[in-house]
Structures are given as structure tokens and as C-alpha cells.
Amino acid sequence: MVHKPLQGMVVLDFSQFLSGPYAGLRLADLGARVIKVERPDGGDLCRRLYISNLELDGDSTLFHSINRNKESFSVNLKDPQERQTVIELLKKADIMIQNYRPGVIEKLGYSYEEVKAINPGIIYGSISGYGTEGPLLDKPGQDLLVQSFAGIPWLSGDTGRDPMPFGLAIADMMAGAHLVQGILAAAVRRAITGQGARIETSLLESTLDTMQEVWCDVLQQTDDKDKLEPVAASRGRKVEPPMATGIYAVQDGYIALGSMPIAALDQLIGCKEMEQEGKLLEKAEGNTQENVEETGEIEETVETVETVETVEIEETEETGEQIGERIRRKLQEHLLQRPASHWVSKLAQHGLPCVQVTDWHNLLQHDAFRQLEMIQQISRPNGVSMSALRCPIRIDGERFTSPKGSPTIGEHNERITADLIGNRMGG
């Protein structure tokens, strides 16, 4: 049996929905004993958070996926008579996680200061929606709302279209991942100093941190609206020409082109009419290939492309963006003439980055996916089982998997009481 790095650590997870439970999931994958502290009447609200109409053994498939490999202890946090039970658990815990709205956990009597008084060495992890101070302090920190406030919807979809939210709960999942990073850093410090810690992050902070590609430009702008406009106009992750980067329709679906100069592409795919446009673009932009950051493979490809006759460039008043858009349209028209396999194979021969946009059914059949061995089977004691993804982390080449499914509400009360509380109740 593999000895996982967090084996022996106890995590009390008071969180619900996605962000906190995702943090707990990763700690469980790494070997920690993660105990979900749930309400007896309904438990974690994620049990009823449905992505589709699929339900398994009374809980949503999302709950099963995010809460596999955990235990459940049901207790009424509002009942003073049950407080001693929670206190005894906190005494034995290494880590506590909570994602209540700011002020709620304090009302329940489990603020960091109160928990620290019970267990000075505990690592106390908190996730909020917008942080622990400021005008949005008490606002609902739901993923869609935070994404929208952070401006994520302006980055999705096509230029000139309405804003579109990202298709995944990126704010929730990134906040959970960032909380784990903080917890692990605090665990290293505690191993050296014995000192506990309070770790805090928020959906908003995590989302903003994920947007480094945007903020590296935005923060260099002034408050001048005209200067901000080019950034606002870059919806849909457009890359400034003369790069061909983007997703294009082909005869049987779509392909994605990575960073490659149009100068390398027009001749390779046999689209001669793009050459003249490319030269116009370079003239309009005052841009040459030396200004384009290329990989070694792309540089080599450009050098080996068959030389074509020099074309004289007429003067133009068009902007680089206008010419670039026209080039993209011609490229799109040309790519529609052949299937994805043709273009992927042709560009791969010259080391140019290109993949087919794959749907999930075909991805499951692809050798690249199969060789990762990402799928595992998880089961509950009653025999109910489902497929789920494993932990994406490998240590010393070892993949971390666990067949243990998600818990039912209060399933492990008796075992947890025996292991962690024993006869210390009332004394």
C-alpha cells in the first residue's frame, strides 16, 4: 500500500457546495482523513446540486464526485448540547475548513479565535465570496456572480457578442485549490515551529489571480477610456495579428491552431491568397516576424517553407486589425474544405501546434486520455458505484486513487466517536 503524504492528518470540513469540499477532496486524495461535518436534516446542500438530471443513491453525481473518499459526521451546530461533541473533534483535528458567509461561523461559535483557544496548533482554512471586508462582504458569493463581477464573461465567446460566463465553476474550484496551497504551506511551517495558522482566500481573489493574462495589461493602462478600449475589445481571447491562433470550423468539426505566424501557415495549407494579405498586415502594423515570439519548431518551419515570389505591396489605409480579420475569414473559408484529420496531420508534419476540438465521447476513446488512467470506480458500502476522475497529482510516479465513495449523512458518527471522542464527553 502506498503511504500518502498527508496520511494521519485529520480534517474537519464544515463547508458546503463546491469550493470548500473541493479543497477537502484534494486533501483526502493526498491521504488526510477528511470528515464532513453536516446538518442532520439534509446535510451538504451539494447533495441536491444537479448538473443534469442524474442522481445516484439519493445524491447528485456532482456530490459523489466532489465528496468521494470522505466520512460524514452529522451534528446540529446550533444546538448548545451538541457543542461539546464538536469541541472534542476540534481538539483532535489538524485542519478545519469552512466557507460560510462572513459572520455566520462566528455566530455559531466557531470563529478562528474560538477554535484556536480549543486547539492552538490547528490550521483554520476559510473561503468567502468577496473577502472578509469591504462593501460586498455580506453578498452571496456564488460562482456565476463572482465570475461576472470579475469580468470573466467578457473573455468568453466572440468579439462583439454579449458577455458569456465560463462553462465551469472556475471561481469555486480555483478558490478550493488556492486554499489547499495555503493549508499545505501552513502545515510545513507547523512541522517546523508547531504554530497553527488562519488561511483565508475568496472566490473573487482566486478568480482575479487566474486572470493574470488580462491584468498584466489592464494594470498598465490609465483611466483614459480610449486607452482602455483596446483591452475591452479583446473579447473572445483574440490574439493580435499576425498570429493565426484560434478555433476554426473545418469540414467535420473544429480545430484549434496554437501560436503560429500566418507567414508560416499560408503556404503550408495551400492558401496563396493569404500571402498578399499577410504582407499588407505587416506593413500596416509595422510588424515583422522578429517581433513575434515563436517556438523553435515554428522558427524552423518558417525557414523551411518554400520561398515564393516577392509581391509588391500597395499602400493601404486599413488598420492591422481590419486586415487581420480579413485574413482570418479567408483562412476560415479555406479550412472548411478539408476534415480535421487532414489539417492536424499536415501541420503536425511541420511541427505547428494544432489539435482537433474533441467532444467528451471521443476524448474517452483517445489513447492520450486512456494512458493517463484518469478514471476510477468509487463505491458506497451498499454496493452503489460510479465512475469518477482520480486525483491529477502524481508523486514519485504514483497515481493516487481510492475506491471509497461519498458518505451518506452521518454514516460515520459511531466510528468517528469511537476514534476521536471516546469517553471524554463531559470531561
DSSP-based three-state secondary structure for 49: coil
SS (H, E, C) 309-354: CCCCCCCCCCCHHHHHHHHHHHHHHHHCCCCHHHHHHHHHCCCCCE
**95-98 and 71-74 as β-strands: parallel, antiparallel, unpaired?**
unpaired
Say which of 172, 266, 359, 367 is annotated catalytic. Answer: 172
| Cβ 235 vs Cβ 161: under 8 Å | yes
Query: Is 94 considered catalytic here?
Result: no
Residue 72, CA atoms < 13 Å, CB-side half-sphere: 23
Bridge partners, residue 200, by sequence: 126
SS (H, E, C) 208-228: HHHCHHHHHHHCCCCCCHHHH
Q: Distance of CA 2 to CAs 259, 397, 398, 399, 401, Å? A: 41, 11, 8, 10, 10
With vertex at residue 314, the alpha carbon angle to CA 309 and CA 317, rounded to the nearest 5 degrees, is 140
| Cβ 148 vs Cβ 154: under 8 Å | no
Q: What span, in angstroms and rounded, lies between the C-alpha atoms of 111 and 29?
A: 27
Q: Which residues are catalytic?
A: 172
